[in-house]
Amino acid sequence: MKKITGAQAFIEALRCEGVTHAFGYPGGAVLDIFDAIMDARDIQFILSRHEQGAVHAADGYARASGRVGVCLVTSGPGATNTVTGIATAYMDSIPIVVFTGQVPTHLIGNDAFQEADIVGITRPCTKHNYLVKDVCDLGRVIKEAFYIARTGRPGPVLVDLPKNVMNSTVNFKYPDSVSLDSYCPTYKGHQGQIRRIMGVILKSRRPVIYAGGGVTLADASKELAEFARRLKLPVTTTLMGMGAFPSDDPLSLGMLGMHGTYAANMTVTNSDCLIAVGARFDDRVTGKVDEFAPKARIIHIDIDPTSISKNVKVDLPVVGDCRMVLRGMLAELAGKDAELAEMVSQTEPWRREIGDWKKQQPLKYCKSENIKPQYVIEMIDEIAPDDTIITTEVGQNQMWTAQFYKFNEPRHFLTSGGLGTMGYGFPAAIGAQAAFPGRTVIDIAGDGSIQMNIQELATVVQYNLPVKVMILNNGYLGMVRQWQSLFYKKRYSHTSMAVAPDFVKLAEAYGAKGLRVTRPEDVKDAIREALRIPGPVFVDFVVDPEEDVYPMVPAGAPINNMLLV
């Protein structure tokens, strides 16, 4: 067996894991790896312009494709610049593996040049992390890293690679399997518990499904749709669950929670049986916990046992993979046609009441001579191809997208949910576009958040990635301004973005195309033109500066206490 360097072994390990794309930024501690990358023609390395952008790109790649995203950066500041991206992936359970360079092992702890204890720094925001001290351990560690990242409740794993380990030599053989005695995710739900759950559901009269991002992560969307349609159960989704159930299905209630629909929030509040599938009862969903679904028996299906009763006490938990548990629940319907028919008949008044809520308070906005951001979202939805992947930044642009864009397939909506990371959407779009070069990828942004990682314009131009960025430019940090307007007597402390770049000129300075739209009647043509242009495009929509996101549940209030348009 021929000896190879640790850097060459690293490339071989990526090949064995089926990696075709990686994102990152070079530096001294990883020069051996970057030298080996020169010979790795089967792995496309995309050079970001900031390490945070590289992690978000790997994250977007993972969310869009369902595969593990890969990021490679250097030591010290290169490693610490990844932390926000890692925390973003951790909060949303996204499978990525982040490789960081490190100073030689004999210098660790000596405050060497560009040394940082990235293992210690990221311990709270990774699913697991490693410091490789011996090149002989490299194959095992990488194998375990990918396995841990994608199995169970997915999440980010960090592997720290000292420079001397990378230039050491080894007789390299990649392991065929992983053996981790302390890590054994439960996939198959307890059949007795599934049977009890189905008994409760079939006897309910005001049931509702509350679906989260776990449905998408488990590739359980088809099973969820079949289950909901057979039992005629209304379905509401979290922000992370958008697309897990088709938005245009008559049973869909849209998103629930702080900026959820009136129908969704009223349905959950008045239900007698809440079926939570792959959701974690986030505070933006529950509002005042004591008054969340107060009349309901709560069923919770989740692969992560630590999520059960963590935020809201549940009555009937099932630990297991969402797809496998839903299949088990569907199997329990065999031979129960009479019970099913009775339930569907008995729940008809409930569905009529929900229909009334939909008609009473649909999502709406007041049109004016200014461009309304909601209108821009509606037109993007109308014009963009059905397989378009939408990413967003964080804030009003994110909420309007969740409300007014119709997501009918999973993995078409990529956004930072748990951490709420401004600057996420643009680099995430880069990752999605790399995964699917033939599909349309659109980042819906605000003029504040797009500036967080705007340097990645150079990346899309260098690699000719035709990402379209639609900026809802209102001259403010819009969501913060909205809170100041409602709760701080319109004292707009440091939320004005009056001094901002000319996004058209900025795009052109990087070699991309820039468009500006100031009139509602020009919105459609601008979107069509942006989609016709073969390369990256920035479209600057100058929108109503004081438009707010409604409905809105004030912080600490129950979710049926909504501020409406």
Structural tokens at position 281 = 């009862």
CA distance 288 to 299: 19
Per the listing, tokens 């409905």 go with 551
Strands 157-162 and 128-131: parallel
Average pLDDT of the chain to the nearest whole number: 97
- Would you mind telling me the total number of residues written for the chain in this entry? 565
Among residues of the chain, what percentage have pLDDT more than 70?
100
pLDDT digits (tens, 9 = 90+) for 235-268: 999 999 999 999 999 999 999 999 999 999 999 9
The sign of the torsion formed by the CA atoms of 360, 249, 301, 413 equals negative
Q: Is the separation of the CB atoms in 14 and 72 below 8 Å? A: no
Within 8 A by CB and 6+ apart from 305, the residues are 186, 319
**In the predicted structure, residue 380 carries a pLDDT above the cut 80:** yes
51 is catalytic: yes
pLDDT for the residue numbered 2: 76
d(C-alpha 103, C-alpha 110), whole Å: 10
What is the arithmetic mean of pLDDT over 58-75?
Answer: 98
Is 113 assigned a catalytic role? yes
- Is 361 marked active-site? no
Of the residues 12, 17, 51, 332, only one is catalytic, namely 51
pLDDT of residue 10: 98
pLDDT of residue 498: 87
Q: CATH classification of 373-542 is 3.40.640.10, yes or no?
A: no
Q: Is 382 strand, coil or helix?
A: helix
CATH of domain 3-171: 3.40.50.970
Q: Which CATH number fits domain 191-360: 3.40.50.1220, 3.90.1010.10, 3.30.1780.10, 2.40.280.10?
A: 3.40.50.1220
- Please name which of 93, 157, 96, 95 lies closest in space to residue 418, comparing C-alpha atoms: 93
- 524: confidence class by pLDDT, cuts 50, 70, 90: very high
38 vs 16: CA distance, rounded Å? 18
pLDDT tens-place string over residues 36-45: 999 999 999 9
SS3 at position 165 = helix
pLDDT (mean) for 7-33: 98
Q: Which of 17, 34, 52, 163 is catalytic?
A: 163
Distance of CA 120 to the CA centre of its chain: 25
Domains in the chain: boundaries: 3-171, 191-360, 373-542
206 has pLDDT over 90: yes
Per the annotation, the verdict on 407 as an active-site residue is no
The pLDDT score that the predictor gives to residue 350 is 98
Q: Select which of 44, 114, 346, 455 is catalytic.
A: 114
Q: Is the pLDDT of residue 565 over 90?
A: no
- Evaluate whether 3-171 and 373-542 have a shared fold: yes
Q: What is the pLDDT of residue 529?
A: 98
Phi-psi region of 247 (alpha: psi -120 to 50; beta: other; left: phi over 0): alpha
The answer to whether 436 is a known catalytic residue is no
Burial class (CB in 10 A: 0-12, 13-18, 19+), 449: buried
The pLDDT of residue 1 is above 70: no
Residue tagged 């004591």 (tokens): 290
Residue 260 DSSP symbol: -
* Predicted model pTM: 0.97
* Residue at token pair 């039992």: 231
Taking only the tens place, the pLDDT of each residue in 293-307 is 999 999 999 999 999
**What is residue 119's predicted lDDT score, i.e. its pLDDT?**
98
Share of the chain above pLDDT 90, in %: 98
Identified catalytic residue from 91, 258, 479, 552: 479
In 296-342, DSSP assigns E strands to 297-302, 316-319
pLDDT at 27: 98
